[in-house]
Amino acid sequence: MSPNNKLLKFIIGGLFIFAISTSAGIAKTKISYWTHTYDPAVPVNEVMVKEFMKMNPDVEVSYDHVPHAQYEPKLLTAFAAGTAPDVFWAGDWLMPKWIPLGLLDPVDYSFWGVKSYKEFVNLFEKGAMEPYIWHGKVYAAGISEYNTFSVFYHPDDFKQAGIPLPSETKPMSWEEFAKIAEKLNKFDSSGKRLRSGFESVYNVPIWAVLILEPQIRQIGGEIVKDEQPQFNSPQMMKVLNWWYELKKKKVIDPSFIVSIGDDFAHGRLSMTIAGPWFISWVRSINPNIKMSVMPLPVFKGGKRVTTLYSWQWHVASSSRHKKIAWKFAHYVATQPLRWWHKVRYIEPMKGVISKIVKEEPLLKTFEEDFKYGKYEFRSRKYYKLSEILMRTWQRVIMEGMSPEKALKTAQKEAEKA
């Protein structure tokens, strides 16, 4: 065959291959990305996925999200079935069980331009990455949502009731807080409740931990110590007694609340406890709302302690495309100001919190409460124990059961968990 014929055959062959690849589409590396549903966050995730695929045309990222109540069961089912997503959100409370089981891939530090876990951890605020370190490795690409809890309140309700506005940085006592909540309640002439001075979320296990655990720790107690449940401790008794008195005096009424966000936004609730994300939620319902924030109260004679919890990005150890997964995780996890401006999620990369406090005055209190934050209790039985804590709380504030009886039952349940 002449050189010209060989060249012609090569060109025709190349054109044939190009035609096939063009019509059928070039094979792409496919990865999956899962999060729980949070309305402000979903469009941000969708846009970031599109941006990443545009920058990496050989990659296809499928994004899925479901409501929080369904999300963790879906994740657990996927891992059990061998169909876990490549990149996903998870809560810090899962780490004591998931990391030792080998479900998570340790961070590929190269994407962050560092060489060790110490250098990587140093990119974040002190203590923020503590739950994700195990045997000298880090198992989270970054924190998507970093939270402590403070108290949101309506300043106009305080003024109308003749109550001085609280400090933005110095906490009041829980004892004083209870008295203020009682004064802020509003009833009609028939005794029907029109407004609650204070309510919380009472029907979600993690909320029971986030609300009660700081109170318990403030007076020297723990929910779990050395993997042993402490439901019969004097500290737990004091905290449940505080709530029992709120119910007994009709300061709170769990049946009155529909949604703390909606109720607060529409003036049916004067005070509630929540994280920085509450700001965008309430403003999305009532853009003209006037609200303020005070520090989480402290029991008289107690030590100032607040809660810490987070959601973060992970790469599954079962991912078949770990390099691509880590590249994507790095992309979505290293845009903290974007997450703040669009979603009001705080990422604790160094220097971020001090920047956003200048933009949002309500964060001044949170910045202070973060200093006293402590992550939730660590236990492989977190789900069971948090559910027991929630049921115990409900027995006291919904059923009127005595704290002594409720905690005796809870300790037995926890020991069998």
Average pLDDT estimate for 191-205: 96
The model's pLDDT over 78-136, given as tens digits with 9 standing for 90+, comes to: 999 999 999 999 999 999 999 999 999 999 999 999 999 999 999 999 999 999 999 99
Q: Is pLDDT of 10 > 80? A: no
Q: How far apart are CA 393 and CA 166, in angstroms?
A: 27
pTM of the predicted model, to two decimals?
Answer: 0.86
Pick from 106, 128, 105, 131: which is nearest to 117 by CA? Answer: 106
Mean pLDDT of 47-76: 95
Least confident of 22-31, 284-293, 342-351, 398-407: 22-31
Question: What pLDDT band is residue 27 in, cutting at 50, 70 and 90?
Answer: confident
CA 11 to chain centre: 58
Sketch out the chain's domains with CATH numbers: 27-146+309-363 (3.40.190.10), 150-308+377-416 (3.40.190.10)
Q: 415 versus 22: which is more confidently predicted? A: 415
Give mean pLDDT, residues 43-69.
96
Residue 355: pLDDT above 50?
yes
Position 19 pLDDT exceeds 50? no
Q: What is the pLDDT of residue 40?
A: 86
Tokens 């407004």 found at: 195
Q: Is the pLDDT of residue 342 over 60?
A: yes
Give the per-residue pLDDT at 233: 97
Q: How far apart are CA 350 and CA 126, in angstroms?
A: 9
For the chain, the straight-line distance linking the first and the last C-alpha, in angstroms and rounded, comes to: 80
Provide the percentage of residues in the chain whose pLDDT is more than 90: 89
Cα dihedral 377, 383, 388, 389 sign: positive
Given this model, what pLDDT does residue 15 score?
43
Task: Determine the angle formed by the axes of helices 41-55 and 336-343, rounding to 10 degrees.
Answer: 140
**In this structure, are residues 215 and 201 in contact, taking their beta carbons and an 8 Å threshold?**
no
Mean pLDDT confidence for 186-206: 96
pLDDT tens readout for residues 243-272: 999 999 999 999 999 999 999 999 999 999
Q: For residues 409 and 391, what is the distance between their CA atoms, to the nearest angstrom?
A: 10
Q: Residue 11 — very low, low, confident or very high, per pLDDT cuts 50/70/90?
A: very low
- Quick check: 240 pLDDT over 70? yes
Q: How confident is the model at residue 204 (pLDDT cuts 50, 70, 90)?
A: very high
pLDDT band at 26, cuts 50/70/90? low
Q: What percent of the chain is modeled with pLDDT above 70? A: 94
Please give the pLDDT value at position 280.
87
